Amino acid sequence: MNISRLTVVVFLILFGTNFSMAQIKNSEMGKVELVQEKNVKELLDKHIEINSKAPIKGYRIKIHFGSDKNKAKEVKAKFIAKFPDIAAYEKYDQPNFNIRVGDFRTKLEAYKVLKEVQVEFPSSFLVQDEIEMPKLIGAEIK
């Protein structure tokens, strides 16, 4: 097993010093209180913040690419009108304007939607892309 020195150092810092300082009090039956340094909470919050901004690998459906910006905007508007629940993204990769749609975590999920989209946009196909974090319905991060 090849573990980097940085990983070992971080592990020792986080768990070596703080583990000895953390105390678990069992004052009443069924209640546990964890006492720890505030730095641990700050590190965890920073970790959550950094990871929430990290890109997610997934799939999108490319419905258009070409050098005409107006045509790309027309295709995007037509797509939004036909599929209002699916996000559409416009990206410029010189010399082409690309319209990609959806945020799919699996190829199977993307393929199901591709078959529906191909009725209106027959030349569309799947591409791997960095996708947006899916919205969680009814969930709130505290």
pLDDT at 28 over 60: no
CB 126 within 8 A of CB 114: yes
Tokens of 127: 């591409």
pLDDT class of 16 with cuts at 50, 70, 90? low
Domain tally, the chain: 2
What is the pTM for the complete model shown?
A: 0.60
Q: Is residue 74 part of a domain?
A: yes
Reduce the secondary structure of the chain to three states and give it as a string: CCCCHHHHHHHHHHHHHHHHHCEEECCCCCCCEEECCHHHHHHHHHHHHHHHCCCEEEEEEEEEEECCHHHHHHHHHHHHHHCCCCCEEEEEECCEEEEEEEEECCHHHHHHHHHHHHHHCCCCEEEEEEECCCCCCCCCCC
pLDDT class of 12 with cuts at 50, 70, 90? low
The mean per-residue pLDDT over the stretch 122-132 comes to 91
The mean per-residue pLDDT over the stretch 27-36 comes to 72
pLDDT digits (tens, 9 = 90+) for 43-87: 888 888 877 777 789 999 999 999 999 999 999 999 999 999 999
Q: Compute the distance between CA of residue 86 and CA of residue 103 in angstroms, rounded to an integer.
A: 8
pLDDT at 34 over 90: no
Q: Is residue 121 part of a domain?
A: yes
Domain that holds residue 92: 56-131
pLDDT at 22 over 50: no
29 lies in the same domain as 66: no
Q: Is residue 141 part of a domain?
A: no
pLDDT at 21 over 50: no
Question: Which one, of 60, 56, 52, lies nearest residue 103 by Cα?
Answer: 60
Q: Which of 21-25, 72-76, 131-135: highest mean pLDDT?
A: 72-76
Q: Is residue 34 part of a domain?
A: yes
